[in-house]
């Protein structure tokens, strides 16, 4: 009987691996679409991706897959709920049940529309032309509402979309997460604004040769553990990471010749995503045990390398002398403390991906409220620019001068990724809690950073997070690793200590 179960399990695994190969082809086309595809090729690419997405959906919702899962769920393979086999069967069942609720027609239309929407977003953002993007956003919102109805939900349609990126997440949970630290965050922002200490931003807002930025960013990515033997770094309109196979990870960034931090911290962020993908168990690639557990945990890895590490003093004690060598005209005479203060400047800003650690979560709160209202029907697409600017004024006391710096700055809505934004804040919370635990278990960790040794943290994350695949859902994984469920106090304790020292309170 056991041999029969193992044989059926291997048969299912082979089917899933075939589906993964097709998924990788679609991802490769998506990567190419955002990096090298000529604009004239976008319409045909959209049709190609829609066709392949339909093929993939048909393959993963084949009734034979459901029948195999049903048989396997009756075997001893699922007795040990944490075993590789049990995890794969459990998570494949979740995926199968969700995907079979979506008609192939809808899957293809979502793929086609979002592909075209992203291409139109790129040009509309460049031209500051929201009316050009508006009909595409309207189509995407309607498709996401239809998708949510297919999935089903207990309270709100938006819950079904949140659950796609973070299992068990819903509006009530996300709202509670924000309420758990919002008051302390607002007070911290006010204290920083009232401080007489201000960094000299001219230090990092002068000319930095882009070719040198590329070299410096690549060196930083290598140092923290991103493997260029199995990965690439390219340029895109909006930084992103995609995995195309067990030894093929692609990350992107964008460069500003008049700001050092934009590309550097974007590169560290995407390298953090890439390190997670490269650390997943390769022998299980294509199955849930070879996949990341959630976007909240994925964002915890990128935000940790970008912020706790990349904006930290130990990191710069190692890298600042190198930065002075690479950019002698800009940084040669700048004192370390002045530079460190500049890269940790806190002030309300227009662009989310360039925001500081403290105000970043207000950017996410705004987007969460906007897309929740769009899905609920409380906000019309026509009213998005005005609603965005009104909220931005309320949260940041700033009004975006253009829609390109306002409601069109992110690629996510064009991609149909409604429900994704809250995972950035969850990632910030998870990253702080995980980092605190890593420091507790490795008291010398930051001293190692000062001499350029980031391997202990990468190894710790490989063992505690990456190797686990989807064995445990996010909050359970957090509790198993740190001993506590998700707790916003870790993030606020970290921010208050760091920025209290910088701003003198």
Q: Which residue has the tokens 């002398």?
A: 321
Compute the distance between CA of residue 332 and CA of residue 297 in angstroms, rounded to an integer: 38
Compute the distance between CA of residue 409 and CA of residue 258 in angstroms, rounded to an integer: 19
Closest CA relative to residue 184, chosen from 372, 393, 432, 419: 432
pLDDT of residue 126: 96
Could you tell me if 252 and 35 are in contact, meaning their C-beta atoms sit under 8 angstroms apart?
yes
186: part of which helix (H) or strand (E)? Answer: helix 182-194
Per-residue pLDDT of the chain (505 residues; tens, 9 = 90+): 578 999 999 999 999 999 999 999 999 999 999 999 998 999 999 999 999 999 999 999 999 999 999 999 999 999 999 999 999 999 999 999 999 999 999 999 999 999 999 999 999 999 999 999 999 999 999 999 999 999 999 999 999 999 999 999 999 999 999 999 999 999 999 999 999 999 999 999 999 999 999 999 999 999 999 999 999 999 998 899 999 999 999 999 999 999 999 999 999 999 999 999 999 999 999 999 999 999 999 999 999 999 999 999 999 999 999 999 999 999 999 999 999 999 999 999 999 988 999 999 999 999 999 999 999 999 999 999 999 999 999 999 999 999 999 999 999 999 999 999 999 999 999 999 999 999 999 999 999 999 999 999 999 999 999 999 999 999 999 999 999 999 999 999 999 999 999 999 9
- Tell me the three state secondary structure of residue 17: helix
- How far lies 155's CA from each of 151, 160, 172, 311, 376, in Å? 12, 9, 10, 40, 11
Report the helix count and the strand count for the chain, using DSSP H and E.
23, 3
pLDDT of residue 1: 59
pTM above the 0.85 mark?
A: yes
Sign of CA dihedral 463, 466, 470, 472: positive
Compute the distance between CA of residue 158 and CA of residue 154 in angstroms, rounded to an integer: 10
Active site residues: 270
Compute the distance between CA of residue 428 and CA of residue 425 in angstroms, rounded to an integer: 5
- How far lies 265's CA from each of 171, 309, 345, in Å? 30, 10, 13
Instruction: Enter the tokens of residue 439.
Output: 């420091």
pLDDT of residue 2: 74
Could you tell me if 64 and 8 are in contact, meaning their C-beta atoms sit under 8 angstroms apart?
no
Could you tell me if 158 and 376 are in contact, meaning their C-beta atoms sit under 8 angstroms apart?
yes
- Tell me the three state secondary structure of residue 334: coil
Burial letters for 455-488: b for 16+ Cβ neighbours within 10 Å, e otherwise? eebbebbbebbbebbbbbbbbebbeebbeeebbb
């Amino acid at each position: 009987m056991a041999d029969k179960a193992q044989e059926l399990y291997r048969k299912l695994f082979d089917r899933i691996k075939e589906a993964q190969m097709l998924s990788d082809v679609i991802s490769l086309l998506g990567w190419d679409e955002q990096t090298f595809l000529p604009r004239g090729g976008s319409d045909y690419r959209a049709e190609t991706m829609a066709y392949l997405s339909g093929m993939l959906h048909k393959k993963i919702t084949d009734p034979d897959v459901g029948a195999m899962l049903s048989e396997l769920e009756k075997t001893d393979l699922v007795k040990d709920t944490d075993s590789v086999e049990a995890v794969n069967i459990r998570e494949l069942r979740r995926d199968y049940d969700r995907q079979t609720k979506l008609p192939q027609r809808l899957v293809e239309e979502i793929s086609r529309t979002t592909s075209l929407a992203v291409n139109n977003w790129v040009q509309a953002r460049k031209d500051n032309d929201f009316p050009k993007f508006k009909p595409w956003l309207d189509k995407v919102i309607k498709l996401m509402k239809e998708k949510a109805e297919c999935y089903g939900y207990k309270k709100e349609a938006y819950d079904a979309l949140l659950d796609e990126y973070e299992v068990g997440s819903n509006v009530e949970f996300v709202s509670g997460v924000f309420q758990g630290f919002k008051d302390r965050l607002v007070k911290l922002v006010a204290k920083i604004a009232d401080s007489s200490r201000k960094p000299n931003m001219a230090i990092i807002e002068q000319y930095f040769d882009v070719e040198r930025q590329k070299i410096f960013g690549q060196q930083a990515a290598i140092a923290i553990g991103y493997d260029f033997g199995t990965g690439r770094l390219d340029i895109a309109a909006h930084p992103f990471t995609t995995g195309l196979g067990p030894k093929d990870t692609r990350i992107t960034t964008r460069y500003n010749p008049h700001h050092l931090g934009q590309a550097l911290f974007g590169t560290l962020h995407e390298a953090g995503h890439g390190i997670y993908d490269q650390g997943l168990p390769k022998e299980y690639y294509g199955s849930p045990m070879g996949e990341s557990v959630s976007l909240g945990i994925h964002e915890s890895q990128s935000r940790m390398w970008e912020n706790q590490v990349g904006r930290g003093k130990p990191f710069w004690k190692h890298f600042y002398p190198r930065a002075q060598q690479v950019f002698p005209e800009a940084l040669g005479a700048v004192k370390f403390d002045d530079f460190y203060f500049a890269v940790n400047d806190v002030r309300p800003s227009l662009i989310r991906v360039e925001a500081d650690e403290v105000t970043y979560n207000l950017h996410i709160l705004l987007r969460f409220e906007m897309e929740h209202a769009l899905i609920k029907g409380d906000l019309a697409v026509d009213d998005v620019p005005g609603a965005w600017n009104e909220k931005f004024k309320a949260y940041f006391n700033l009004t975006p001068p253009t829609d390109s710096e306002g409601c069109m700055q992110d690629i996510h809505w064009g991609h149909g990724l409604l429900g994704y934004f809250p995972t950035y804040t969850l990632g910030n919370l998870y990253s702080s809690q995980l980092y605190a635990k890593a420091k507790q278990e490795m008291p010398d960790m930051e001293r190692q950073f000062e001499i350029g040794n980031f391997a202990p943290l990468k190894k710790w994350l490989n063992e505690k997070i990456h190797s686990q695949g989807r064995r445990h859902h996010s909050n359970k994984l957090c509790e198993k690793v740190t001993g506590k469920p998700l707790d916003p106090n870790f993030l606020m304790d970290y921010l208050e200590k760091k920025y209290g020292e910088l701003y003198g309170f």
